[in-house]
Amino acid sequence: MMQFGAVLLDSLRLLRSRYLFRLTLILSSLAAVALFATYSFNEQGIRILWFNTWENPELQAGKPGVRDFIAIMFNNVYARFWLTWGAMILAIVSTASILPDFLSSGSIELSLARPISRTRMLAFRVIGALLFVFLQTFVGVLLAYLIIGLKFNIWLGGILWAIPLITLMFFCLFSYSALLAVITRSTLACVIGTLLIWFVLFLLQFSSSQLNNQVEQARAMQRQSQAIVARIERITADQSRPPTPGEERSLSRAKEHIARTQIDIDRFGPYASVFRRSEFILPKTRDMQTILANRAKVPTGGSIISLFAAGRGGPLNNPEFDSDDLREQLAAADEAEAALRDINVPRSLGTSIASALFIYGLAALIFSRRDF
């Protein structure tokens, strides 16, 4: 415990001395202020700073859309763009030197000569590095939570899940940095290698998500078309009459949809399945974002568009658009996204943690057998 405390205290001192840590902390706080303290809701809609109010019946003070809007701002902007990209890149760059510095000649001897096992020492150092992301996520998210709560009287407890989830995401990514550090002892290799692996993971998960989205959307549209066909056939059967010309058109359009979506399902389905399986053994950073969206009760994509489309000048208020058709498409998109957001949380997080622990184990094995 004494040794763990010493390493943790050393990590805090190291972070305090890092310019990037302080910068990230300031940027996290500023981003929280900018995203949650610069607008208000009134009887007409939303007003940003001193600009004119944007009229939107969904975003009027007291409406459920206000809560949805804030959840969207937190998850889709603050968490997705800043915490899981901007701040994460800064964290990877800033912490990349922690292990190579610790393992460098002249430094490692000082620690290895102490009565502490190598595996334990490495584990303590990794926990120290996790502090970087934990602290800055903790400060940023807590600030966002307090601003939202105090300013709008909306206490979004779900957004606090961002703290463990984003720390876990970094825990997964940092495993590659640790492995590269014990092999190369080079900060540059750790930065480039980790970012590269992250990019590959992102590409894989993005491709998987797109393919699965395509398939799920096709299935949702197919289900809607099948429902239309079933409804018309039931009506005509009940009334013992042939379909009207209008019903004929709907039937033919629905059957065409069913055939077309089946082609999509047949084309993308097998690939989507392969990608899903390959993801199984990898850290699922994208899943963590989805879990956060679920915990923060962020509305699905279709509902988000509906929310903004309902505003002044939006397509749902514009006679040039076929609002029924748009609502139908958005409902299909919502259904597809809901299917994708239905994540088995223990399995997703469990396999991600297991994958990271495997990489850390490999790093520990190399570290414990290596000469310095």
Work out how close the CB of 94 gets to other proteins at its nearest, in angstroms, rounded to a whole number.
13
DSSP of 265-326? HHHHHHHHHHHHHHHTTS--HHHHHHHHHHHTTPPPHHHHHHHHHTSTT-GGG-TTS-HHHH
How many whole angstroms from its chain centre is CA 85? 10
Work out how close the CB of 71 gets to other proteins at its nearest, in angstroms, rounded to a whole number.
40
Q: Which is nearer to other proteins, 93 or 326 (CB)?
A: 93
Q: Which is nearer to other proteins, 6 or 203 (CB)?
A: 6
Strands 39-41 and 45-48: antiparallel
Which residue, 92, 117, 74, is CA-closest to 172?
92
- Evaluate whether 122 touches 216 at the Cβ level (below 8 Å): no
Q: Which is nearer to other proteins, 117 or 323 (CB)?
A: 117
Q: How far is CA 188 from CA 25, 71, 98, 225, in A?
A: 23, 37, 12, 54
- Evaluate whether 272 touches 212 at the Cβ level (below 8 Å): yes
Q: Which is nearer to other proteins, 16 or 43 (CB)?
A: 16
Q: Which is nearer to other proteins, 116 or 160 (CB)?
A: 116
Q: How many CB atoms lie within 10 A of CB 317?
A: 15
Strands 53-55 and 39-41: unpaired
Work out how close the CB of 5 gets to other proteins at its nearest, in angstroms, rounded to a whole number.
7
Q: Which is nearer to other proteins, 182 or 332 (CB)?
A: 182
Q: And the tokens for 319?
A: 């006679």
Name the residues that contact other proteins, by CB under 8 A: 2-3, 5-7, 9-10, 13-14, 16-17, 101, 104-117, 369, 371-372
Work out how close the CB of 105 gets to other proteins at its nearest, in angstroms, rounded to a whole number.
7
3-state SS, residue 55: strand
Work out how close the CB of 171 gets to other proteins at its nearest, in angstroms, rounded to a whole number.
23
Q: Which is nearer to other proteins, 111 or 184 (CB)?
A: 111
- The letter for the amino acid at 16 is R
Work out how close the CB of 372 gets to other proteins at its nearest, in angstroms, rounded to a whole number.
5
Q: Which is nearer to other proteins, 12 or 274 (CB)?
A: 12
Work out how close the CB of 114 gets to other proteins at its nearest, in angstroms, rounded to a whole number.
4
Which residue, 257, 271, 190, is CA-closest to 222?
257
Work out how close the CB of 110 gets to other proteins at its nearest, in angstroms, rounded to a whole number.
6
Strand order in the sheet with 39-41: 39-41, 45-48, 53-55
